[in-house]
Structure 1
């Protein structure tokens, strides 16, 4: 077995089947000790909500955290975001202008303060009005000359972030930092904000069996032999995919 870079979303991907998670944690712990594999969590959660989940589910300590849908990277347990990544995101980003523009849309309900981050403005947006609101909001923000993008997932969560920030770009940054090639890297997800993980390069991709419609639709429209659609749910689907790609026996 060779070392590999393991990157996974948390909610409904790594977490959701406690028995399978226990087995996966054991396997990952072993390959990290024996081969020097790296474990990365890539989640929409803020540091506050990540800590809650980590304690609740007894997650393995990761080598890096990609938090707030890719806008913050924390290395080796550091409490401070990686400054090199933050520097990359600051070009063309003006949080105050983003917030001001969003006040024109009553359908946008701000998420809790813990989820509002330096490079992320987050709302709840119901699925029904989203088809009308998202294009109008995108147009408003573009007219302000802002270099941003909208990430809408799970039929409720809207994140506005710098254009070159997402989970996928963050993985590319870590991959190059740690010198892993795409063939040695595996990314796992279940929802719309994970599309960036699968779309950024040719990393091995595992889509868990309980994936949401928006991710399945994207997968069907962009088939690739380096991506695997599991039948098992959550950590069980990850184990299935890791065996499929030969990362685990």
Structure 2
């Protein structure tokens, strides 16, 4: 008589750190967002999962988005392309430790003065000009010519900065130590959360830092922009997942694929 043994593997769910960009990543499909919100909030209540938004938006534009879309209240908010971290978005009090780190070697006035010599750079609205971020609009057609010259000019003046160009128009000049990915590393250490228990989600060039700063699990949504797709193809990792679905649906797909949700 042949005896068959059935082995059932129990899936143990634990808390994880969920970090996502907002525009065109979390936000873009309201029905999918509602479903993702329900699953994430349940996981937060059951296991203590932490939810963080990492956005290029300023706090003012983040508040505007919350009035337009149904977003869960985050455990922390990373704004202005990673240059600001807030643990209580309602009060808009920024983490002083993170600010002190970014302030080292940062000379905002000098950055603005040098950029003023480039007529192709158009300043973004005043709300998007932040203490550790200078932001411009730059046409994609001339970006490949302007960006190397601008970077060279900044280096010649001894300014230790980074240029982040995304969406074919948005240029952000930040302190070298500031971006979304480094902000995530800061939060991981603060909350003692392992990279294997952290997942980041994005769609554009200013999200590349989310995927490249460490070994966090990563989800690229199906509607990712060309600059992120190109980076992914050149830097494939087995812990990064490129979803077929778009927006929040793509995030859900990735969370299931990577084992964060069942």
**TM-score, normalization by structure 1:** 0.99
**TM-score, normalization by structure 2:** 0.94
What do residues 108-162 of structure 1 show as CA deviations (whole Å, max 9, x unaligned)? 0000000000000000000011001000000111111111010000000000000
Structure exhibiting the larger radius of gyration computed from Cα positions: 2
2:154 is the counterpart of 1:141: yes
Counterparts of 1:52-201 in structure 2, within 5 Å, are: 52-77=64-89, 78-201=91-214
In structure 2, distance between residues paired with 1:89 and 1:28: 31
Runs of 4 or more consecutive aligned structure 1 residues displaced over 2 Å after TM superposition: none
Equivalent residue for 2:7?
Answer: none
CA shift at 1:55, angstroms?
Answer: 1.5
CA shift at 1:213, angstroms?
Answer: 0.5
Q: Name which of 5, 13, 19 aligns with 1:7.
A: 19
Gaps in structure 1 of 5+ consecutive residues:
none
Aligned Cα RMSD in Å?
Answer: 0.6
2:35 is the counterpart of 1:38: no
In structure 2, distance between residues paired with 1:155 and 1:13: 17
Equivalent residue for 1:22?
Answer: 34
Count of residues in correspondence between the two structures:
249
Corresponding residue SS for 1:73? strand
In structure 2, distance between residues paired with 1:177 and 1:33: 21
What do residues 160-213 of structure 1 show as CA deviations (whole Å, max 9, x unaligned)? 000011000000000000010000000000000000000011100000000001
In structure 2, distance between residues paired with 1:130 and 1:79: 34
In structure 2, distance between residues paired with 1:132 and 1:88: 32
Q: Name which of 50, 71, 74 aligns with 2:62.
A: 50
In structure 2, distance between residues paired with 1:41 and 1:139: 32
CA shift at 1:79, angstroms?
Answer: 1.4
CA shift at 1:76, angstroms?
Answer: 3.4
Equivalent residue for 1:206?
Answer: 219
In structure 1, distance between residues paired with 2:49 and 2:98: 22
